[in-house]
């Protein structure tokens, strides 16, 4: 599942050049790269999607499809509302007030891919939690084919609460969001998946801005028992393999008969797909592994720390207790991973490449800052000040200690 060493040679140098050029030349560089890579000529007047184009998108999209997007947005919002947290404080026995204040980010940028497929679902998954968090301004960037943005993206953007939309993509769009140009405002954080150039650009601008994660190719691991249906498991594996030739799809099962049937079925179904992408992914990163027992399957899944983990077993709740590393876990035979992509509610922007060992799905918490609040009383200063001053002395920081002792001295003079 570790595919990080497969970054093609020259990608980092190319991205670094684009970032620096956009940082220096702003819109001129941004428009030049958009013309070069997307074949779209932009100006300061055409780079941003006007409101009437978004309104037209609602008329262009089938009303039934708009209703589906509304349903998905509502479910995503309902889930993420439960992630809201509140500021808090307490006063200890010494009269010291301590707390944590939560503040939303001021401006965030969402990247929506526009390469192999169009992903209005990504717009909803990134935009809705940002809006729930209270972000003041949400900016969307997405490449436009022949200068036209897919109307599904525009509808999703409106439903998600996006404020401004720019028809730009690639590493140059990441640069514009990170540094700002004459037309594109600088953001505080960039979220959303993209191709290897976008992912590399996000990694390189981290520090200038925040990022959600370095999203790699999609991946799925399925743990199955003897009750699993081979054709269903095969379909689930292919559902992620079709994303990218580097996508990973792995079955773990202690039942050899299940493994053999799934292996046959997944090849049969792959041949029926119109796109060859899934077959290419399976050839490189697909596997059917027979484990000694179910405990070994769980242990192997934890070591892989997959983006998506399906527990296609009779009693998934029993196995769930042993799962510690996964982006999202899908329980039972009626919960295909694809439901999580669109209609379940939890976020589908998930850690990949084993990073679920230390990372979490995108959520409201990604759009919130936490600030500590500290307030000492005079008595509390007298109690803890000498200890803090001595601590500063131990570290050889004279001015630190003096900033405390000067207060203690005045307090002593006051008493006298």
Catalytic residue among 77, 80, 242, 308: 308
Active site residue 308: yes
| 271-274, Cβ contacts within 8 angstroms, sequence gap of 24 or more | 273/238, 273/242
Q: What angle do CA 106, 50, 193 make, to 5 degrees?
A: 55
Active site residue 255: no
Burial of 45 (0-12, 13-18, 19+ CB in 10 A): exposed
Q: What sign for the dihedral angle of Cα 121, 122, 125, 128?
A: negative
Q: What is the CA radius of gyration of the chain?
A: 26
Catalytic residue among 265, 307, 310, 337: 307
Give the helix ranges, DSSP H, for 143-285.
151-160, 170-179, 196-205, 230-241, 256-272, 277-285
Give the helix ranges, DSSP H, for 26-89.
27-38, 51-60, 63-81
Q: What does each C-alpha distance from 259 to 226, 229, 283, 288, 309 come to in angstroms?
A: 9, 11, 16, 6, 17
Catalytic residues: 307-308
């Amino acid at each position: 599942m570790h595919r990080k060493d497969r970054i093609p040679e020259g990608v980092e140098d190319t991205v670094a050049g684009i970032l620096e050029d956009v940082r220096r030349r702003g819109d001129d560089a941004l428009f030049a790269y958009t013309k070069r890579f997307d074949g779209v000529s932009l100006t300061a007047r055409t780079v941003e999607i006007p409101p009437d184009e978004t309104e037209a998108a609602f008329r262009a999209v089938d009303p039934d499809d708009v209703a589906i997007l509304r349903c998905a947005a509502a479910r995503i919002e309902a889930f993420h509302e439960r992630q809201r947290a509140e500021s808090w404080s307490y006063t200890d026995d010494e009269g010291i007030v301590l707390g944590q204040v939560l503040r939303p980010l001021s401006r965030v940028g969402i990247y929506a891919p526009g390469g192999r497929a169009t992903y209005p679902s990504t717009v909803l998954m990134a935009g809705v939690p940002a809006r729930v968090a209270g972000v003041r301004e949400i900016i969307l960037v997405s490449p436009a084919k022949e200068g036209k943005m897919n109307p599904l993206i525009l509808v999703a953007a409106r439903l998600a609460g996006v404020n401004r939309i720019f028809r730009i993509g690639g590493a140059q769009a990441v640069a514009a969001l990170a540094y700002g140009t004459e037309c594109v405002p600088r953001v505080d954080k960039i979220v959303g998946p993209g191709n290897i150039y976008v992912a590399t650009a996000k990694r390189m601008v981290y520090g200038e801005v925040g990022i959600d994660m370095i999203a790699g190719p999609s991946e799925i691991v399925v743990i199955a028992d003897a009750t699993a249906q081979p054709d269903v498991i095969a379909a689930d594996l292919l559902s992620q393999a079709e994303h990218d030739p580097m996508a990973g799809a792995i079955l773990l099962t202690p039942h050899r008969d299940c493994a053999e049937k799934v292996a046959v079925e997944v090849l049969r179904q792959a041949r029926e797909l119109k796109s060859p992408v899934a077959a290419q992914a399976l050839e490189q990163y697909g596997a059917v592994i027979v484990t000694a027992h179910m405990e070994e399957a769980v242990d192997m899944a934890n070591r892989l720390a997959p983006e998506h983990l399906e527990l296609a077993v009779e009693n998934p709740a029993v196995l769930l207790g042993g799962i510690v590393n996964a982006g999202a876990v899908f329980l039972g035979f009626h919960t295909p991973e694809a439901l999580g992509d669109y209609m379940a509610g939890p976020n589908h922007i998930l850690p990949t490449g084993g990073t679920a060992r230390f990372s979490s799905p995108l959520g409201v918490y990604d759009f919130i800052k936490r600030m500590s609040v500290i307030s000492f009383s005079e008595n509390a200063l007298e109690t803890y000040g000498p200890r803090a001053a001595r601590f500063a002395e131990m570290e050889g920081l004279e001015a630190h200690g003096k900033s405390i002792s000067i207060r203690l001295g005045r307090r002593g003079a006051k008493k006298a």
